[in-house]
Amino acid sequence: MPVAAPPRLRARPTPQLAVEPLLLGRAPEEAARLLADVLALCGGAQAQAARRAFGLPEDAASEAARRAEIRRDHAARLLVLWPAKLGLAPAPLPADRIEGGPLIRRALFGDVPCPATGEAMLAFLRSPRGVAPVLAALAARFAPGEAAVRLPLVDAVTAFDPAAAVENSVAARRAADPALRAVEDLHGRGPLWRAIGRLVDLAAELDAPLRPAARPLPPAARSGEALVEAARGLYAVRARVEGGRVSAFARVTPTDHLLAPGGVLERSLATLGPDAEARADLLLAILDPCAPVVLETDGTPAPSGPEAP
């Protein structure tokens, strides 16, 4: 008698706030400010993207807010949110986590700099320094290759397609970093790779001259389009201004790509073992969608298909 396939988890997105109608008919400066005000997550990054799409001058305050969001978000996950999910004691958030002083460096790395080579990163993960125990605990929860997904990295074309099954994450922009490559070689592009992508990205924010450069930001292909790096990945905005008013506005977020059919979340859930439901909450904490999702069981077979080289 054939054995029935075990139920498979699938994610159902919950409705999100439709910000686009709020911006139509407004002056571009007002629309960009409103976008930053109504979006609690990555408001600075999205306001910066909107300003560029509207053709407004670069704004130092929006850029400072964007970089602060990245530092704040990465630090909160590495020191507080992920340890709590793993049953570890969260660390207090250092007071200098935004400006990047010695306290945040010590909390992350202990008495060493962020590992810049593959060998140094693997040695760091075996050590008791900084957040290494958190990352080691995460590695122990997922076998090498489990919840690992290899999809094409987001580019200037797919960034504007919300249904594109692409890798649009912080780890994507740091994929060529030697320390992250070593983790990928051993574990695949799974939860540990994504978590260390955040660590490497935060290290680059704190010590930019000391780390390899990120993957170059692809230029927007057309006028009225803008791409901006944020705490979860790459934001894309397409807008039109007519008569001094916003007449069209659309945005694509890293969460759109994460939840796309055949995308990272669907494929990650499909590769979890029999105790998938017990670890799905941790997986979601690592993947970090910017809107709540509901996990449901589905008896259909797991999706299959070629992965990106």
Task: Provide the pLDDT for residue 210.
Answer: 47
Give 207: exposed, middle or buried? Use CB within 10 Å, 0-12, 13-18, 19+. Answer: middle
- For residue 7, being part of any structural domain is answered with no
Query: Which of 25-29, 175-179, 186-190, 289-293 is the least confident region?
Result: 289-293
Query: What digits encode the pLDDT tens for the residues 181-205?
Result: 999 999 999 999 999 999 999 998 8
- For residue 300, being part of any structural domain is answered with no
Tell me the pLDDT band of 2, cut-offs 50, 70 and 90. very low
Task: Provide the pLDDT for residue 214.
Answer: 62
pTM (whole model) above 0.85:
yes
Task: Provide the pLDDT for residue 301.
Answer: 40
Tell me the pLDDT band of 290, cut-offs 50, 70 and 90. confident
Query: What digits encode the pLDDT tens for the residues 263-286?
Result: 999 999 988 877 888 899 999 999
Residues 6+ apart with CB under 8 A from 262: 165, 303, 305
**Number of domains, the chain:** 1
pLDDT higher than threshold 60 for residue 303: no
Contact of 167 with 153, CB cutoff 8 Å:
yes
Region 90-108: mean pLDDT is: 92
Structural domain harbouring 244 = 17-291
Contact of 205 with 108, CB cutoff 8 Å:
no
- For residue 5, being part of any structural domain is answered with no
Task: Provide the pLDDT for residue 307.
Answer: 38
Residues 6+ apart with CB under 8 A from 59: 32, 47, 48, 51
Helix axis angle, 43-54 relative to 60-76, nearest 10°?
Answer: 150
- For residue 132, being part of any structural domain is answered with yes
Region 129-158: mean pLDDT is: 95
| 3-state SS, residue 160 | helix
Query: What digits encode the pLDDT tens for the residues 60-79?
Result: 888 888 889 999 999 999 99
Task: Provide the pLDDT for residue 208.
Answer: 54
Tell me the pLDDT band of 5, cut-offs 50, 70 and 90. very low
Task: Provide the pLDDT for residue 65.
Answer: 86
Region 117-142: mean pLDDT is: 96
- For residue 309, being part of any structural domain is answered with no
- For residue 180, being part of any structural domain is answered with yes
| More confident call, 302 vs 73 | 73
Task: Provide the pLDDT for residue 211.
Answer: 54
Tell me the pLDDT band of 15, cut-offs 50, 70 and 90. confident
- For residue 82, being part of any structural domain is answered with yes
- For residue 3, being part of any structural domain is answered with no
Q: Highest-confidence range of 9-23, 44-58, 73-87, by mean pLDDT?
A: 73-87
Query: What mean pLDDT value characterizes the chain?
Result: 87
Buried b (16+ CB within 10 A) or exposed e, 166-201: bbbbbbbbbbebbbbbbbbeebbbbbbbbbbbbbbb
Query: What digits encode the pLDDT tens for the residues 44-56?
Result: 888 899 999 999 9
Region 133-157: mean pLDDT is: 95
| More confident call, 251 vs 10 | 251
Task: Provide the pLDDT for residue 26.
Answer: 96
Residues 6+ apart with CB under 8 A from 278: none
